[in-house]
Amino acid sequence: MPPLSTAQLHKLKRWNTPSIANALEQVSRADPLGLINLEETRDFMPELGHMVGYAMTVVISGRDPAPKHEQPENFAHYREYLASRPGPKIVVVQDIDRPACYGAIWGEVGAVTARALGCVGTITDGAIRDLDEMKAAGFKALARRLAVSHAHCWPLRWGVEVEVFGTKVRPGQLIHADKHGFMIIPPDGQKRLLEAARFMDDNECNTVIAAATECAGRATEELLAGMKTAGARFSAATRRQFNRGGEWK
């Protein structure tokens, strides 16, 4: 399936990642557990909002100085790789030293350079530094922690499958991420994703959220009955729209 249009990607950024997860459950057959981060991420720049992009992958280490001397051209080749595909792109970094994370491959220089190459942010199970400067560059980061030094951080491999926060990510996969974590959007869910996001949000507002608001303060029995009726309406509307489950819980 061809990449989504610029307009479609921009519209996806208007939704938070949990809303995208709700929508994806209705339009994709993929197991959600294979699409989301299984370990906790930290969004050090929540004010930059949500990010959407195609994965560019790299494996790094910051402990051993040897790769710098044995493979001195790796950084140049890694940047050529980042430039090899159109954006928006998210650089997904597997730090093989985790959980120690001896140093940060990301800082002001890395962020400004990657931004110039069409990358909107990173998901790294390693560390970042120069936090204010990265924010100023508009380069969003989900990371494991902050660090002071870049230590011996060096790219070892790129354009390969990586594992970050307990989840495997392949180059080119579409990712939606924010302060809640990240989600891979498989090809079978992309075509109707925006439609599903709008529908599920409207459906919640029209049924279960409206019922909870209207019934607040009433007797418990009346409140529970109202929620049950609203839940049934929610589920029925979802089944009609997508011809599948969609049960409200």
Do 210 and 183 share a structural domain? Answer: no
For the cut 60, the answer to whether the pLDDT of residue 248 exceeds it is no
Check whether 214 has a pLDDT greater than 60.
yes
Which residues does 240 contact at the CB level (< 8 Å), separation at least 6? none
- Residue range 24-41: mean pLDDT, rounded: 94
Q: Which helix (H) or strand (E) holds 113?
A: helix 108-116
pLDDT > 70: percent of the chain: 97
Mean pLDDT of 82-103: 93
114 pLDDT more than 90: yes
State whether 229 and 146 are in the same domain.
no
| Domain end point (choices 164, 187, 210) | 187
Is 152 in the same domain as 217? no
Grouping H, G, I as helix, E, B as strand and the rest as coil, residue 116 is: helix
Q: At what angle do helices 193-206 and 208-215 cross, to 10 degrees?
A: 20
pLDDT (0 to 100) of residue 212: 85
Q: Tally the residues of the chain.
A: 249
> What mean pLDDT is reported for the chain?
92
Q: Which string of b and e fits 205-215 if b means at least 16 CB within 10 Å?
A: eebbeebeeeb
Does 164 share its domain with 218?
A: no
Model confidence at 2, pLDDT cuts 50, 70, 90, reads low
pLDDT at res. 211 = 86
Q: Which domain holds residue 17?
A: 6-187
pLDDT above 50 for 243: yes
* Two structure tokens written together for 197: 């996001």
Question: CA-CA distances (angstroms) from residue 100 to 87, 104, 131, 135?
Answer: 31, 11, 19, 24
pLDDT tens per residue, range 139-163: 999 999 999 999 999 999 999 999 9
Q: Within a domain: residue 247?
A: no
Radius of gyration of the chain (CA): 21
Stretch 208-216: mean pLDDT, rounded?
86
150: domain CATH number? 3.50.30.40
CA distance 82 to 121: 12
Gap between the Cα atoms of 213 and 234, Å rounded:
15
249 inside domain: no
Predicted local distance difference test score (pLDDT) of residue 245: 53
For residue 230, what pLDDT band results from cuts at 50, 70 and 90? Answer: confident
Domain presence at residue 248: no
Contacts of 26 (CB under 8 A, 6+ apart): 192, 196, 199, 200, 238, 241, 242, 244, 246
- Mean pLDDT over residues 158-183, rounded? 97
Q: Two tokens at 97?
A: 């030293």
Of 187, 206, 221, which marks where a domain is finished? 187
Q: Among 28-42, 111-125, 204-218, whose mean pLDDT is lowest?
A: 204-218
- 96 shares a domain with 176: yes
Closest listed residue to residue 64, CA positions, set 151, 188, 158, 190: 151
- Residue 1, domain member (yes or no): no
Q: Are residues 151 and 197 in the same domain?
A: no
Identify the weakest region by mean pLDDT among 35-49, 94-108, 197-211, 217-231: 217-231
Residue 151: what residue type? A
Look at residue 244 in the predicted model and tell me its pLDDT: 63
Q: Supply φ then ψ for residue 95, to 5 degrees.
A: -95, 110
β-bridge pairing 174-178 and 51-61: antiparallel
**pLDDT score at 227:** 86
Within this chain, do residues 51 and 104 fall inside the same structural domain, yes or no?
Answer: yes
| Whether the predicted pLDDT of 179 surpasses 70 | yes
Q: With respect to residue 171, please indicate whether it lies within any of the assigned structural domains.
A: yes
Q: What is the pLDDT of residue 249?
A: 46
At residue 220, the pLDDT reads 85
More confident residue, 143 or 240: 143
**Count of domains for the chain:** 2
CB 130 within 8 A of CB 108: yes
